[in-house]
Structure formats: structure tokens, C-alpha cells
């Protein structure tokens, strides 16, 4: 039997079926929107998407219907369509219940660094380097990711995560790092990183921890193997030694990034 959280309750399913029926023959996008809207409306409490979640698909300055629906209350706690988090969430809980399947990229990258005999700091930086991509915000992911974990890891680990973002775009022939082929495919052959990225690259190049961030990019490149599954358990001891898990749980502590973890736990709260 599937866990309860993965199957919407009867009212939500009924609303989804009704919306699917009512929109038969319409374009797939419009149908998906209508179904999603109907499911959200069928929840007891109304979930709300932040501006950032929809900006681009929608013009954030355009007038939209108010989230408040008379007779209903706005969601101010966890999103019932997501897996419930324990009272004191650990990093492992976030990996299991909130991160995208592409977290495998993080695990493979860390496993590769470990096999190469790199230091625990570098393995940890690899394990967390794209944490923002898999669980938070993709644009500027190195900066967001570093900020998210900064209170809980060694300064050098956060630094390496922050600067891997810029370093990914700039080759270093001395250590055999080339501009990723994948980026040519993803961004086109004409793509050039912004001036800001170049400035951050220059800054990183002169820094004493340059090689730490460079190592992240070197273990990043080859870490996309669909046939390999690495479990987080492989890094339990390493995390125990190098990740300062707060005893109250991530998000319940008072660190400068606790609120970011709370937003990942409950991303559709009105406030
Ligand atoms: Fe990255
Ligand atoms: Fe990566």
C-alpha cells in the first residue's frame, strides 16, 4: 500500500476528475492548470504559490484572483500534498522527503570524490553542491546553496559550494578542467557567462580555497550516471562528523538560514 501522503484524499481526487472531464479536448497545459487548481481548491486550507514560483510563467505585475476564498482559510502550515516531515527534521529527511530525484547527482558526485580519496570537507561540498537545485531555487544555485548550509558546515565547504557556480564556466587546463560539453548543449555554443560570474571567478582564482571549489567542479562533470544508485547512508558517518545537525531540527533552530529550511518544509504557506 502506498503511504497516505502520496494519494490525495477522495475529495481532492473527485475535484481532479471533475476538472479533467470539464476540460476534455483542451490543450494539455490548460488542462493540467485546471486540474491543479481544482485539487488545490478542494483542500481544506488554501495553499498559495509565492511570486517566485510562478514568475515567468506569469507576469508577476498582472492582476490575479485573490488567494482568499470566502468560507475557507489560507494554509499556514505544512502542505498536505507533500510528505509530512518529522518534528525535528534532519538533512536526511530533506533528502528523502523534499529533494528531487536528481539528488542522485549530488550523491554520485560525493561518492566519486570519496573514491578519489579527497578530504571529508571536499566530499561534503560535493554532496551538497547543488542542494539548491534539488530542493530550493535553481537560478544562482551555488549562492543559495552555500547560504542554506553555511551555519552547519565548515566555512571552506560553504565557500566551495558558493564558488563552484562561477568556476563551472571557466576552464582550468592545469588541472584538466574544460568548459563542460553539456553546457554547449544546454545553453548553446554562443553562451557567455555574465560579467558578474567572471568577476566572481577572478576573485575565486586568487583565493586560498580556489582548489576546493575547483574540486567540486571536477567531481561534478562526471557525476551523471543513470545506472548507479548511491544511498545517502554511505555518508552518514561523514555527515555526523562534518554537518552540525541542530538538535531542534533544521528549520526549528535560530540560524541565519533556518527560515530557508522552513520554507522548503512548507513552501505554500500564505506567510
Ligand atoms: Fe552546480
Ligand atoms: Fe552539479
- Burial class of residue 48, CB neighbours in 10 A (0-12, 13-18, 19+): middle
Q: Is residue 29 in a domain?
A: no
- Ligand 2: distance of its center to the CA of 48 in Å? 30
Does residue 2 surpass a pLDDT of 60? no
Does residue 8 surpass a pLDDT of 70? no
Which residue, among 11, 9, 35, 10, has the nearest Cα to 22 in the 3D structure?
35
Amino acid 35: pLDDT: 86
Does residue 18 surpass a pLDDT of 80? yes
- Ligand 1: distance of its center to the CA of 138 in Å? 9
- Ligand 2: distance of its center to the CA of 184 in Å? 15
Q: Is residue 97 in a domain?
A: yes
Does residue 5 surpass a pLDDT of 50? no
- Ligand 2: distance of its center to the CA of 220 in Å? 5
Judged by average pLDDT, the poorest of 8-12, 19-23, 245-249 is 8-12
Does residue 7 surpass a pLDDT of 80? no
Judged by average pLDDT, the poorest of 2-11, 57-66, 126-135 is 2-11
Query: Under 8 Å CB-to-CB from 33, ≥6 apart: which residues?
Result: none
Matching residue, cell 555518508: 235
Q: Is residue 13 in a domain?
A: no
- Residue-wise pLDDT for 216-255, tens only, equals 999 996 666 778 899 999 999 999 999 999 999 999 999 9
| Ligand nearest to the Cα of 145, by number | 1
Q: Is residue 86 in a domain?
A: no
Of residues 43 and 170, the one with the higher pLDDT is 170
- Burial class of residue 45, CB neighbours in 10 A (0-12, 13-18, 19+): middle
- Ligand 2: distance of its center to the CA of 132 in Å? 10
| Ligand nearest to the Cα of 164, by number | 1
Domain of 109: which CATH number?
A: 1.10.3210.10
Q: What is the mean pLDDT of residues 82-99?
A: 97
- Ligand 1: distance of its center to the CA of 103 in Å? 12
Show the domain range for 154. Answer: 91-250
| Ligand nearest to the Cα of 113, by number | 2
| Ligand nearest to the Cα of 220, by number | 2
CA distance 38 to 69: 13
Q: Is residue 269 in a domain?
A: no
Amino acid 173: pLDDT: 96
- Ligand 1: distance of its center to the CA of 104 in Å? 13
Amino acid 30: pLDDT: 87
Amino acid 65: pLDDT: 79
- Ligand 2: distance of its center to the CA of 125 in Å? 11
- Give strand pairing partners of 46: 74
Please calculate the CA angle 116-122-126 and round it to the nearest 5 degrees.
90
Percent of the chain with pLDDT over 90: 74
Query: Under 8 Å CB-to-CB from 60, ≥6 apart: which residues?
Result: 51, 54
CA distance 56 to 12: 27
| Ligand nearest to the Cα of 143, by number | 1
Amino acid 33: pLDDT: 83
Does residue 12 surpass a pLDDT of 90? no
Query: Under 8 Å CB-to-CB from 267, ≥6 apart: which residues?
Result: 50, 53, 79
Amino acid 222: pLDDT: 64
Amino acid 223: pLDDT: 61
User: What are the phi and psi torsion angles at 102 (to 5°)?
Assistant: -70, 0
Q: Is residue 56 in a domain?
A: no
Q: What is the mean pLDDT of residues 71-98?
A: 94
Please calculate the CA angle 31-42-49 and round it to the nearest 5 degrees.
70
Matching residue, cell 567542479: 217
Model pTM? 0.86
Q: Are 216 and 126 in contact (CB under 8 A)?
A: yes
Q: Is residue 3 in a domain?
A: no
- Residue-wise pLDDT for 172-223, tens only, equals 999 999 999 989 999 999 999 999 999 999 999 999 999 999 999 999 966 6
Q: Across the chain, what does the average pLDDT equal?
A: 92
Please calculate the CA angle 128-142-233 and round it to the nearest 5 degrees.
5
Q: What is the mean pLDDT of residues 22-48?
A: 85
Q: Is residue 265 in a domain?
A: no
Judged by average pLDDT, the poorest of 22-36, 47-61, 136-150 is 22-36
How many domains would you assign to the chain? 1
- Ligand 2: distance of its center to the CA of 110 in Å? 10
- Ligand 1: distance of its center to the CA of 140 in Å? 9
- Give strand pairing partners of 74: 46
Amino acid 224: pLDDT: 67
- Ligand 1: distance of its center to the CA of 165 in Å? 6
Instruction: Find the Cα–Cα–Cα–Cα dihedral 27, 31, 32, 36, rounded to 10°.
Output: 160
Amino acid at each position: 500500500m502506498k503511504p497516505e501522503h502520496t494519494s490525495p484524499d477522495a475529495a481532492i481526487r473527485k475535484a481532479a476528475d471533475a476538472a479533467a472531464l470539464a476540460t476534455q479536448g483542451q490543450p494539455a497545459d490548460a488542462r493540467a492548470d485546471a486540474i491543479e487548481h481544482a485539487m488545490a481548491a478542494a483542500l481544506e486550507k488554501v495553499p498559495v504559490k509565492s511570486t517566485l514560483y510562478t514568475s515567468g510563467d506569469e507576469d508577476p505585475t498582472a492582476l490575479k484572483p485573490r488567494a482568499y476564498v470566502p468560507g475557507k482559510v489560507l494554509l499556514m502550515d505544512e502542505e498536505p500534498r507533500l510528505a509530512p516531515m518529522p518534528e525535528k527534521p534532519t538533512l536526511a529527511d530533506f533528502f528523502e522527503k523534499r529533494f528531487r530525484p536528481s539528488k542522485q547527482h549530488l550523491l554520485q558526485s560525493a561518492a566519486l570524490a570519496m573514491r578519489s580519496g579527497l578530504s571529508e570537507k571536499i566530499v561534503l561540498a560535493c554532496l551538497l553542491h547543488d542542494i539548491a537545485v534539488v530542493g530550493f531555487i535553481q537560478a544562482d544555485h551555488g549562492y543559495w546553496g552555500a547560504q542554506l548550509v553555511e551555519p552547519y558546515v565548515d566555512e571552506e565547504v560553504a565557500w566551495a559550494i558558493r564558488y563552484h557556480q562561477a568556476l563551472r564556466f571557466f576552464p582550468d587546463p592545469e588541472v584538466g578542467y574544460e568548459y563542460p560539453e553539456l553546457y554547449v548543449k544546454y545553453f548553446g555554443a554562443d553562451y557567455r557567462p555574465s560579467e558578474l560570474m567572471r568577476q566572481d571567478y577572478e576573485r575565486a582564482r586568487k583565493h586560498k580555497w580556489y582548489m576546493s571549489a575547483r574540486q567540486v567542479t571536477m567531481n561534478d562533470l562526471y557525476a551523471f550516471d543513470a545506472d548507479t544508485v548511491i544511498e545517502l547512508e554511505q555518508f552518514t558517518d561523514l555527515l555526523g562528523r562534518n554537518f552540525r545537525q541542530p538538535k531542534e531540527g533544521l528549520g526549528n533552530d535560530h540560524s541565519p538560514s533556518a527560515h530557508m529550511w522552513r520554507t522548503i518544509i512548507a513552501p505554500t504557506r500564505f506567510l
